[in-house]
A and B are shown apart, each in its own frame.
Chain A
């Protein structure tokens, strides 16, 4: 079955970077655009960015421009999200989610990765 499996929880200091992974299985990797979404404690879902599985082109939410990098490794069917210059407000559960098109519904979803930023 289609599955997205994310890497484990991370604890970081302010100013650090964090790199999360999302490994796809059960389908042809190039089928889905891969989006990243996060939910901070007590807050709603927030779309962060997307990568095209074939061309590798990306687009990010304006507020994260310059701090967010998303890459993909087609040989291992894995997408990576790196967020730099971490702040306490980056503490959140981060999800990867597949979309058939750039503007399409997000489904399936990974299980989520908790990132805690604390001094």
Chain B
């Protein structure tokens, strides 16, 4: 299964910047399909943070930013806050699977 790959965990101190990578293949991210990013807290529905590679929905702070290059994408979170501690997922369409495909998820710990 060609699931985009994310690091299982990242951590950073308050105020720092962390980056979460999402490594895909030529059938998903590398094929030019949009990458979307979600924040997920236990017991709640996932929250859309970034859509279309680098666009923020209304209400999402500009501390969150997205980028994409080749077969990979990244989510950067600057000015880390305690409330940013959550699981983060990338999502893209996969033409070989003919469906959407989430990354494995990354747990962010704010030290």
Contact = CB atoms under 8 A, between A and B. Distances in A.
Interface of A: 35, 37, 39, 44-47, 49-50, 59-62, 95, 97, 102-107, 109-112
Interface of B: 33-34, 36, 38, 40, 45-46, 48, 51-52, 57, 87, 89, 91, 93, 97-105
Chief secondary structure at chain A's binding surface: strand
A112 B52 CA distance: 24
B89 A111 contact: no
B46 A47 contact: no
Contacts of A45: 38, 40, 46, 89, 91, 102, 105
B51 A107 contact: yes
Contacts, number: 61
B99 A106 contact: no
Chief secondary structure at chain B's binding surface: strand
A49 B97 CA distance: 11
B34 A104 contact: yes
B45 A47 contact: no
Given A47-B102, A105-B51, A105-B91, A61 B46 contact: no
Nearest to B37: A105
A44 B45 contact: no
B5 to A, nearest CB: 11
19 contacts: A39-B40, A44-B89, A44-B103, A45-B91, A46-B102, A59-B99, A60-B99, A62-B97, A95-B45, A97-B46, A102-B93, A103-B33, A103-B34, A103-B93, A105-B52, A105-B91, A106-B100, A107-B57, A111-B45
Q: Of B57, B87, B99, B102, which is in contact with the most chain A CB atoms at under 10 Å from its CB?
A: B99
Contacts of A50: 99-100
B99 A109 contact: no
Contact of B48 (A37, A60, A105): A105
